[in-house]
Amino acid sequence: MKIINIYEAKSQFSKLLAQVQQGQEITIAKNGQPIADLKPHQPKPNQAVKQAFGSMKGQFNYRDSVLVGIDKDVQTLFYGRTKGR
C-alpha cells in the first residue's frame, strides 16, 4: 500500500484515482498519521426487498366502511375488479 501526504494527494489527485482504478490502494496521511484510504469502490449488496404484488394480503385489518364513497379505482385496489367492469 502506498502512503502519501495531503499536499501530494491534492496536487496529483487525478493520477491517484487512475492508480486506484487499476486496483491499487493508497493511504493519505497528515503529519505521518493515516487519515484516509483511497481504494477501488466495492458496491454494497442491494438491500432493497422486492415485494410481489399482493404479498401482504391478509396482513392489514380495516373496516369496509372506511372505503365507502371513495374513488372507484381505490376500491378496485382493495377488492379487485368485479365482473362486468
Mean pLDDT in order along the chain per 10 residues (85 residues): 93 95 95 94 72 74 76 78 62
What is the number of domains present in the chain? 1
Q: Are 26 and 38 in contact (CB under 8 A)?
A: yes
What's this model's pTM, rounded to 2 decimal places?
0.51
Q: Is 10 within a domain?
A: yes
Q: Is residue 20 part of a domain?
A: yes
**Cα–Cα distance between 6 and 31 in angstroms, integer?**
9
In a domain, 84, yes or no: no
Amino acid at 73: D
Domain membership of residue 26 (yes or no) is: yes
Indicate which CATH number applies to the domain containing 27.
3.40.1620.10
Asked if residue 13 belongs to a domain, the reply is yes
